[in-house]
Structure 1
Amino acid sequence: MTPSLTERRKAATQLDIARAAAELFTERGPDGTTAEEIAVRAGVAPRTFYRYFRSKQDAVGPLLAIGGDHWRERLAGAEPGTPLPRALASAVTESLTVPHEAKAEGMRWTRGLLRAAAGDPALRAVWYRVNQESEDRLVPVVARLAGEDADPLEIRFAAAAATDAIRVALETWAESDAGLEGPGSPAELAMRCLRELAGGMRLLTEPQQS
Protein backbone atom coordinates (compact mmCIF):
# COMPACT_ATOMS: atom_id res chain seq x y z
CA MET A 1 0.00 0.00 0.00
CA THR A 2 1.18 3.52 -0.81
CA PRO A 3 1.68 5.57 2.38
CA SER A 4 -0.64 8.53 2.83
CA LEU A 5 0.67 12.09 2.80
CA THR A 6 0.34 12.20 6.59
CA GLU A 7 2.34 8.99 6.96
CA ARG A 8 5.05 10.28 4.61
CA ARG A 9 5.31 13.53 6.56
CA LYS A 10 5.53 11.61 9.82
CA ALA A 11 8.28 9.37 8.44
CA ALA A 12 10.18 12.41 7.11
CA THR A 13 10.00 14.14 10.51
CA GLN A 14 11.19 10.99 12.27
CA LEU A 15 14.12 10.70 9.89
CA ASP A 16 15.04 14.37 10.39
CA ILE A 17 15.08 13.80 14.14
CA ALA A 18 17.11 10.60 13.68
CA ARG A 19 19.75 12.40 11.61
CA ALA A 20 19.95 15.21 14.17
CA ALA A 21 20.43 12.65 16.94
CA ALA A 22 23.13 10.85 14.95
CA GLU A 23 24.97 14.13 14.32
CA LEU A 24 24.95 15.06 18.00
CA PHE A 25 25.90 11.56 19.15
CA THR A 26 28.85 11.68 16.76
CA GLU A 27 29.90 15.13 17.99
CA ARG A 28 29.29 14.73 21.73
CA GLY A 29 28.36 11.13 22.42
CA PRO A 30 24.99 10.00 23.80
CA ASP A 31 25.91 11.06 27.33
CA GLY A 32 26.68 14.60 26.15
CA THR A 33 23.42 14.99 24.25
CA THR A 34 19.89 15.72 25.47
CA ALA A 35 16.58 15.07 23.77
CA GLU A 36 15.91 18.81 23.82
CA GLU A 37 19.16 19.47 21.93
CA ILE A 38 18.19 16.88 19.35
CA ALA A 39 14.82 18.60 18.90
CA VAL A 40 16.51 21.98 18.38
CA ARG A 41 18.96 20.51 15.84
CA ALA A 42 16.04 18.88 13.98
CA GLY A 43 13.98 22.08 14.04
CA VAL A 44 11.07 20.63 16.00
CA ALA A 45 9.57 21.31 19.41
CA PRO A 46 10.51 19.00 22.30
CA ARG A 47 6.90 17.86 22.51
CA THR A 48 7.16 16.76 18.88
CA PHE A 49 10.27 14.77 19.71
CA TYR A 50 8.48 12.94 22.52
CA ARG A 51 5.44 12.35 20.33
CA TYR A 52 7.62 10.10 18.19
CA PHE A 53 10.34 8.80 20.52
CA ARG A 54 10.57 7.70 24.13
CA SER A 55 14.24 8.55 24.59
CA LYS A 56 17.20 10.18 22.87
CA GLN A 57 18.66 6.78 21.98
CA ASP A 58 15.35 5.63 20.55
CA ALA A 59 15.48 8.54 18.11
CA VAL A 60 18.14 6.92 15.90
CA GLY A 61 16.00 3.83 15.28
CA PRO A 62 14.67 5.01 11.89
CA LEU A 63 18.19 5.72 10.66
CA LEU A 64 19.48 2.31 11.73
CA ALA A 65 16.46 0.60 10.15
CA ILE A 66 16.99 2.03 6.64
CA GLY A 67 19.57 -0.55 5.60
CA GLY A 68 17.39 -3.48 6.67
CA ASP A 69 14.41 -2.01 4.85
CA HIS A 70 16.42 -1.68 1.65
CA TRP A 71 17.80 -5.21 1.61
CA ARG A 72 14.42 -6.77 2.44
CA GLU A 73 12.90 -4.85 -0.47
CA ARG A 74 15.59 -6.20 -2.79
CA LEU A 75 15.08 -9.73 -1.50
CA ALA A 76 11.30 -9.42 -1.89
CA GLY A 77 11.87 -8.40 -5.50
CA ALA A 78 13.66 -11.65 -6.38
CA GLU A 79 12.04 -13.71 -9.12
CA PRO A 80 9.92 -16.63 -7.83
CA GLY A 81 11.95 -19.81 -8.06
CA THR A 82 15.28 -18.10 -7.39
CA PRO A 83 17.24 -20.29 -4.94
CA LEU A 84 17.19 -18.64 -1.54
CA PRO A 85 21.01 -18.52 -1.14
CA ARG A 86 21.37 -16.78 -4.49
CA ALA A 87 18.58 -14.32 -3.71
CA LEU A 88 20.08 -13.51 -0.30
CA ALA A 89 23.56 -13.01 -1.72
CA SER A 90 22.28 -10.71 -4.45
CA ALA A 91 20.13 -8.64 -2.07
CA VAL A 92 22.92 -8.29 0.51
CA THR A 93 25.53 -7.33 -2.08
CA GLU A 94 23.28 -4.74 -3.72
CA SER A 95 22.14 -3.19 -0.44
CA LEU A 96 25.65 -2.94 1.07
CA THR A 97 27.40 -1.76 -2.07
CA VAL A 98 27.78 2.03 -2.04
CA PRO A 99 27.27 3.53 -5.51
CA HIS A 100 26.67 7.16 -4.50
CA GLU A 101 27.50 9.69 -1.78
CA ALA A 102 24.06 9.69 -0.16
CA LYS A 103 24.35 5.98 0.57
CA ALA A 104 27.95 6.38 1.73
CA GLU A 105 26.81 9.02 4.20
CA GLY A 106 24.21 6.63 5.59
CA MET A 107 26.86 3.97 6.11
CA ARG A 108 29.10 6.46 7.89
CA TRP A 109 26.22 7.35 10.23
CA THR A 110 25.75 3.64 10.93
CA ARG A 111 29.44 3.22 11.74
CA GLY A 112 29.39 6.18 14.13
CA LEU A 113 26.24 4.96 15.88
CA LEU A 114 27.54 1.42 16.27
CA ARG A 115 30.77 2.72 17.75
CA ALA A 116 28.78 4.88 20.17
CA ALA A 117 26.56 1.89 21.03
CA ALA A 118 29.58 -0.03 22.29
CA GLY A 119 29.61 2.20 25.37
CA ASP A 120 25.90 2.93 25.68
CA PRO A 121 23.59 0.03 26.65
CA ALA A 122 20.42 1.97 25.75
CA LEU A 123 21.71 2.72 22.24
CA ARG A 124 22.84 -0.88 21.86
CA ALA A 125 19.33 -2.01 22.83
CA VAL A 126 17.87 0.13 20.04
CA TRP A 127 20.22 -1.54 17.54
CA TYR A 128 19.19 -5.02 18.72
CA ARG A 129 15.51 -4.05 18.58
CA VAL A 130 15.88 -2.77 15.02
CA ASN A 131 17.47 -6.08 14.03
CA GLN A 132 14.73 -8.10 15.72
CA GLU A 133 12.04 -6.12 13.92
CA SER A 134 13.89 -6.62 10.64
CA GLU A 135 14.09 -10.36 11.27
CA ASP A 136 10.35 -10.56 11.96
CA ARG A 137 9.58 -8.76 8.70
CA LEU A 138 11.99 -11.01 6.83
CA VAL A 139 10.20 -14.25 7.72
CA PRO A 140 7.36 -13.96 5.13
CA VAL A 141 9.85 -12.89 2.45
CA VAL A 142 12.00 -15.96 3.09
CA ALA A 143 8.88 -18.14 3.21
CA ARG A 144 7.81 -16.99 -0.26
CA LEU A 145 11.22 -17.74 -1.74
CA ALA A 146 11.61 -21.05 0.09
CA GLY A 147 8.33 -22.42 -1.27
CA GLU A 148 5.21 -23.97 0.20
CA ASP A 149 6.92 -27.18 1.30
CA ALA A 150 9.64 -25.48 3.35
CA ASP A 151 9.80 -26.28 7.06
CA PRO A 152 8.53 -23.26 9.10
CA LEU A 153 11.34 -23.82 11.63
CA GLU A 154 13.96 -23.65 8.86
CA ILE A 155 12.34 -20.50 7.49
CA ARG A 156 12.51 -18.74 10.84
CA PHE A 157 16.05 -19.94 11.40
CA ALA A 158 17.13 -18.76 7.95
CA ALA A 159 15.59 -15.31 8.57
CA ALA A 160 17.34 -15.07 11.94
CA ALA A 161 20.66 -16.27 10.55
CA ALA A 162 20.60 -13.91 7.57
CA THR A 163 19.73 -10.96 9.81
CA ASP A 164 22.53 -11.82 12.21
CA ALA A 165 24.99 -12.27 9.35
CA ILE A 166 24.43 -8.66 8.30
CA ARG A 167 24.39 -7.41 11.90
CA VAL A 168 27.72 -9.07 12.70
CA ALA A 169 29.23 -7.85 9.43
CA LEU A 170 28.23 -4.25 10.15
CA GLU A 171 29.44 -4.41 13.75
CA THR A 172 32.77 -5.88 12.67
CA TRP A 173 33.17 -3.23 9.96
CA ALA A 174 32.25 -0.44 12.40
CA GLU A 175 34.99 -1.56 14.79
CA SER A 176 37.60 -1.37 12.02
CA ASP A 177 38.93 1.32 9.74
CA ALA A 178 38.04 -0.62 6.57
CA GLY A 179 36.48 1.24 3.69
CA LEU A 180 33.11 0.87 2.05
CA GLU A 181 34.50 -1.34 -0.71
CA GLY A 182 36.99 -4.17 -0.95
CA PRO A 183 38.39 -6.35 1.86
CA GLY A 184 36.75 -5.73 5.21
CA SER A 185 33.87 -3.77 3.68
CA PRO A 186 30.29 -4.41 4.85
CA ALA A 187 29.40 -6.31 1.65
CA GLU A 188 32.52 -8.48 1.78
CA LEU A 189 32.06 -9.32 5.47
CA ALA A 190 28.35 -10.07 5.03
CA MET A 191 29.07 -12.46 2.16
CA ARG A 192 31.68 -14.23 4.29
CA CYS A 193 29.08 -14.66 7.04
CA LEU A 194 26.50 -15.99 4.59
CA ARG A 195 28.99 -18.50 3.17
CA GLU A 196 29.73 -19.76 6.69
CA LEU A 197 25.99 -20.18 7.31
CA ALA A 198 25.45 -22.02 4.05
CA GLY A 199 27.75 -24.80 5.20
CA GLY A 200 25.42 -25.89 7.98
CA MET A 201 21.87 -24.94 6.94
CA ARG A 202 19.95 -26.98 4.37
CA LEU A 203 17.68 -24.07 3.39
CA LEU A 204 20.72 -21.88 2.68
CA THR A 205 22.51 -24.49 0.57
CA GLU A 206 22.04 -23.93 -3.13
CA PRO A 207 20.68 -26.97 -4.99
CA GLN A 208 23.23 -28.81 -7.09
CA GLN A 209 22.73 -28.70 -10.85
CA SER A 210 21.71 -32.08 -12.27
Structure 2
Amino acid sequence: METKARTLTERRKAATQLDIAQAAAELFTELGPDAVTTEAIAQRAGVALRTFYRYFRSKEDAVAPLLSVGAEGWRALLAAADPDAAPVDAISAAIHGSLLVVDESGAGGLLLIRGLLRAAQTDSALRGVWFRVNGESEDLLRVVVGERAEPDAAPATTALVAAAATAAIRIALEVWALTDDPPVGPAAPAELAVAAFRALAAGLPISGR
Protein backbone atom coordinates (compact mmCIF):
# COMPACT_ATOMS: atom_id res chain seq x y z
CA MET A 1 0.00 0.00 0.00
CA GLU A 2 2.84 2.35 0.87
CA THR A 3 4.56 1.60 -2.45
CA LYS A 4 1.38 2.44 -4.36
CA ALA A 5 1.07 5.72 -2.44
CA ARG A 6 4.65 6.67 -3.34
CA THR A 7 4.02 5.79 -6.96
CA LEU A 8 0.93 7.98 -7.07
CA THR A 9 2.88 10.84 -5.48
CA GLU A 10 5.65 10.51 -8.03
CA ARG A 11 3.11 10.52 -10.84
CA ARG A 12 1.55 13.68 -9.50
CA LYS A 13 4.95 15.33 -9.24
CA ALA A 14 5.77 14.34 -12.80
CA ALA A 15 2.43 15.71 -14.03
CA THR A 16 3.03 19.01 -12.25
CA GLN A 17 6.55 19.26 -13.68
CA LEU A 18 5.22 18.61 -17.18
CA ASP A 19 2.52 21.26 -16.75
CA ILE A 20 5.17 23.78 -15.74
CA ALA A 21 7.39 22.72 -18.64
CA GLN A 22 4.52 23.16 -21.10
CA ALA A 23 3.78 26.61 -19.73
CA ALA A 24 7.44 27.61 -19.93
CA ALA A 25 7.78 26.41 -23.52
CA GLU A 26 4.64 28.27 -24.56
CA LEU A 27 5.86 31.52 -23.01
CA PHE A 28 9.36 31.21 -24.46
CA THR A 29 7.79 30.69 -27.87
CA GLU A 30 5.31 33.54 -27.54
CA LEU A 31 7.45 36.18 -25.84
CA GLY A 32 11.09 35.20 -26.29
CA PRO A 33 13.42 34.12 -23.47
CA ASP A 34 14.29 37.58 -22.18
CA ALA A 35 10.66 38.58 -21.60
CA VAL A 36 9.72 35.46 -19.62
CA THR A 37 9.89 35.36 -15.83
CA THR A 38 9.52 32.49 -13.40
CA GLU A 39 6.47 34.25 -11.99
CA ALA A 40 4.84 34.26 -15.42
CA ILE A 41 5.57 30.57 -15.90
CA ALA A 42 4.11 29.68 -12.51
CA GLN A 43 1.01 31.73 -13.23
CA ARG A 44 0.54 30.13 -16.67
CA ALA A 45 0.94 26.67 -15.13
CA GLY A 46 -1.44 27.47 -12.29
CA VAL A 47 1.03 26.78 -9.50
CA ALA A 48 2.56 28.83 -6.71
CA LEU A 49 6.02 30.29 -7.24
CA ARG A 50 7.37 28.18 -4.39
CA THR A 51 6.11 25.10 -6.23
CA PHE A 52 8.06 26.17 -9.29
CA TYR A 53 11.27 26.45 -7.29
CA ARG A 54 10.61 23.13 -5.62
CA TYR A 55 11.23 21.48 -8.97
CA PHE A 56 13.37 23.86 -11.01
CA ARG A 57 16.36 26.12 -10.41
CA SER A 58 15.70 28.52 -13.28
CA LYS A 59 13.15 29.44 -15.92
CA GLU A 60 15.22 27.71 -18.61
CA ASP A 61 15.56 24.53 -16.57
CA ALA A 62 11.76 24.29 -16.48
CA VAL A 63 11.52 23.03 -20.07
CA ALA A 64 13.60 19.90 -19.40
CA PRO A 65 10.65 17.56 -18.61
CA LEU A 66 8.96 18.46 -21.89
CA LEU A 67 12.11 17.62 -23.83
CA SER A 68 12.67 14.43 -21.84
CA VAL A 69 9.21 13.01 -22.56
CA GLY A 70 9.99 12.39 -26.20
CA ALA A 71 13.27 10.70 -25.36
CA GLU A 72 11.57 8.44 -22.84
CA GLY A 73 8.93 7.50 -25.38
CA TRP A 74 11.34 6.43 -28.07
CA ARG A 75 13.54 4.46 -25.70
CA ALA A 76 10.41 2.59 -24.62
CA LEU A 77 9.55 1.83 -28.25
CA LEU A 78 13.03 0.44 -28.82
CA ALA A 79 12.92 -1.65 -25.66
CA ALA A 80 9.60 -3.15 -26.81
CA ALA A 81 10.77 -3.86 -30.37
CA ASP A 82 11.01 -7.37 -31.81
CA PRO A 83 14.18 -8.86 -30.29
CA ASP A 84 14.90 -10.64 -33.59
CA ALA A 85 14.80 -7.47 -35.67
CA ALA A 86 18.06 -6.14 -37.07
CA PRO A 87 19.44 -3.37 -34.81
CA VAL A 88 19.36 -0.69 -37.51
CA ASP A 89 15.78 -1.57 -38.42
CA ALA A 90 14.62 -1.69 -34.80
CA ILE A 91 16.23 1.65 -33.94
CA SER A 92 14.94 3.28 -37.13
CA ALA A 93 11.41 2.07 -36.41
CA ALA A 94 11.57 3.37 -32.83
CA ILE A 95 12.86 6.76 -33.98
CA HIS A 96 10.16 7.02 -36.63
CA GLY A 97 7.41 5.90 -34.29
CA SER A 98 8.35 8.41 -31.62
CA LEU A 99 8.35 11.38 -34.01
CA LEU A 100 5.49 10.34 -36.27
CA VAL A 101 2.49 12.65 -35.99
CA VAL A 102 -0.77 10.72 -35.78
CA ASP A 103 -3.10 13.33 -34.33
CA GLU A 104 -3.51 17.03 -33.59
CA SER A 105 -1.92 16.67 -30.18
CA GLY A 106 1.23 15.19 -31.69
CA ALA A 107 1.45 17.98 -34.24
CA GLY A 108 1.01 20.57 -31.51
CA GLY A 109 3.77 18.99 -29.48
CA LEU A 110 6.26 19.17 -32.33
CA LEU A 111 5.31 22.74 -33.13
CA LEU A 112 5.94 23.64 -29.49
CA ILE A 113 9.38 22.03 -29.69
CA ARG A 114 10.00 24.05 -32.86
CA GLY A 115 9.20 27.28 -31.04
CA LEU A 116 11.40 26.28 -28.13
CA LEU A 117 14.37 25.44 -30.34
CA ARG A 118 13.98 28.71 -32.18
CA ALA A 119 13.98 30.55 -28.87
CA ALA A 120 17.11 28.63 -27.85
CA GLN A 121 18.97 30.13 -30.80
CA THR A 122 19.38 33.35 -28.82
CA ASP A 123 19.53 31.93 -25.31
CA SER A 124 22.60 29.97 -24.18
CA ALA A 125 20.85 28.69 -21.04
CA LEU A 126 18.03 27.14 -23.08
CA ARG A 127 20.56 25.59 -25.45
CA GLY A 128 22.36 24.20 -22.42
CA VAL A 129 19.19 22.48 -21.22
CA TRP A 130 18.58 21.07 -24.70
CA PHE A 131 22.08 19.59 -24.90
CA ARG A 132 21.92 18.33 -21.32
CA VAL A 133 18.68 16.45 -21.94
CA ASN A 134 20.13 14.92 -25.10
CA GLY A 135 23.23 13.85 -23.21
CA GLU A 136 21.18 12.23 -20.47
CA SER A 137 19.05 10.46 -23.08
CA GLU A 138 22.15 9.12 -24.81
CA ASP A 139 23.46 7.68 -21.53
CA LEU A 140 20.16 5.89 -20.87
CA LEU A 141 19.95 4.69 -24.46
CA ARG A 142 23.26 2.86 -24.12
CA VAL A 143 21.58 0.46 -21.70
CA VAL A 144 18.69 -0.23 -24.09
CA VAL A 145 21.02 -0.70 -27.07
CA GLY A 146 23.26 -2.96 -24.99
CA GLU A 147 20.34 -5.23 -24.19
CA ARG A 148 19.79 -5.80 -27.91
CA ALA A 149 23.44 -6.38 -28.78
CA GLU A 150 25.37 -9.61 -28.91
CA PRO A 151 27.08 -10.55 -25.63
CA ASP A 152 30.49 -9.92 -27.16
CA ALA A 153 29.57 -6.51 -28.61
CA ALA A 154 32.25 -3.94 -27.89
CA PRO A 155 31.20 -1.24 -25.40
CA ALA A 156 32.49 1.37 -27.84
CA THR A 157 30.08 0.10 -30.50
CA THR A 158 27.13 0.29 -28.13
CA ALA A 159 28.13 3.82 -27.18
CA LEU A 160 28.53 4.84 -30.82
CA VAL A 161 25.09 3.46 -31.76
CA ALA A 162 23.46 5.35 -28.89
CA ALA A 163 25.32 8.51 -29.87
CA ALA A 164 24.32 8.15 -33.52
CA ALA A 165 20.65 7.62 -32.71
CA THR A 166 20.55 10.53 -30.28
CA ALA A 167 22.38 12.84 -32.68
CA ALA A 168 20.08 11.87 -35.54
CA ILE A 169 16.99 12.91 -33.59
CA ARG A 170 18.60 16.06 -32.22
CA ILE A 171 19.86 17.26 -35.57
CA ALA A 172 16.60 16.41 -37.34
CA LEU A 173 14.61 18.48 -34.86
CA GLU A 174 17.08 21.36 -34.98
CA VAL A 175 17.12 21.48 -38.78
CA TRP A 176 13.34 21.18 -39.03
CA ALA A 177 12.82 23.86 -36.37
CA LEU A 178 14.54 26.43 -38.56
CA THR A 179 12.14 25.79 -41.45
CA ASP A 180 8.41 26.28 -41.89
CA ASP A 181 7.90 22.70 -43.04
CA PRO A 182 4.87 20.94 -41.52
CA PRO A 183 5.29 18.24 -38.83
CA VAL A 184 4.13 15.61 -41.34
CA GLY A 185 5.42 14.70 -44.78
CA PRO A 186 8.81 13.96 -46.37
CA ALA A 187 10.56 16.88 -44.60
CA ALA A 188 9.08 16.13 -41.16
CA PRO A 189 11.30 15.26 -38.18
CA ALA A 190 10.36 11.56 -38.33
CA GLU A 191 11.68 11.21 -41.87
CA LEU A 192 14.73 13.43 -41.33
CA ALA A 193 15.77 11.56 -38.20
CA VAL A 194 15.51 8.10 -39.75
CA ALA A 195 17.47 9.20 -42.82
CA ALA A 196 20.15 10.74 -40.60
CA PHE A 197 20.43 7.66 -38.40
CA ARG A 198 20.68 5.27 -41.35
CA ALA A 199 23.40 7.44 -42.87
CA LEU A 200 25.37 7.40 -39.62
CA ALA A 201 24.72 3.70 -38.99
CA ALA A 202 26.13 2.78 -42.40
CA GLY A 203 29.59 3.33 -40.95
CA LEU A 204 29.00 1.46 -37.69
CA PRO A 205 29.87 -2.21 -37.04
CA ILE A 206 26.37 -3.00 -35.79
CA SER A 207 25.65 -6.65 -35.24
CA GLY A 208 23.41 -8.65 -33.00
CA ARG A 209 19.75 -9.49 -32.92
Task: Report TM bin, short chain.
Answer: over 0.9
Which letter maps to 1:132? G
Contact kept? 2:83, 2:148, Cα under 8 Å: yes
Q: Given the two structures, how large is their TM-score scaled by the length of structure 2?
A: 0.94
Contact kept? 1:169, 1:186, Cα under 8 Å: yes
Q: Given the two structures, how large is their TM-score scaled by the length of structure 1?
A: 0.94
In the other structure, the counterpart of 1:123 is 126
**In 2, Cα distance between the equivalents of 1:179 and 1:43?**
31
Unaligned runs of at least 5 residues, structure 2: none
**Structure 1 runs, 4 residues or longer, greater than 2 Å off:** none
In the other structure, the counterpart of 1:89 is 92
Among candidates 181, 191, 195, match of residue 198 of structure 2: 195
Among candidates 68, 88, 98, match of residue 101 of structure 2: 98
Which letter maps to 2:38? A
In the other structure, the counterpart of 1:167 is 170
In the other structure, the counterpart of 1:177 is 180
Taking only aligned residues, the RMSD between alpha carbons, in angstroms, comes to 1.7
**In 1, Cα distance between the equivalents of 2:153 and 2:144?**
13
Structure 1 residue 206, shift from structure 2 partner: 9.0
Contact kept? 1:82, 1:145, Cα under 8 Å: no
Contact kept? 1:96, 1:187, Cα under 8 Å: yes
Q: Which has the higher contact order (CA 8 A, sep 6+)?
A: 2
**In 1, Cα distance between the equivalents of 2:208 and 2:169?**
19
Structure 1 residue 25, shift from structure 2 partner: 0.8
Among candidates 58, 61, 67, match of residue 70 of structure 2: 67
Query: Identity of paired residues, percent?
Result: 57
In the other structure, the counterpart of 1:134 is 137
The number of equivalent residue pairs is 206
Which letter maps to 1:124? R
Structure 1 residue 94, shift from structure 2 partner: 0.9
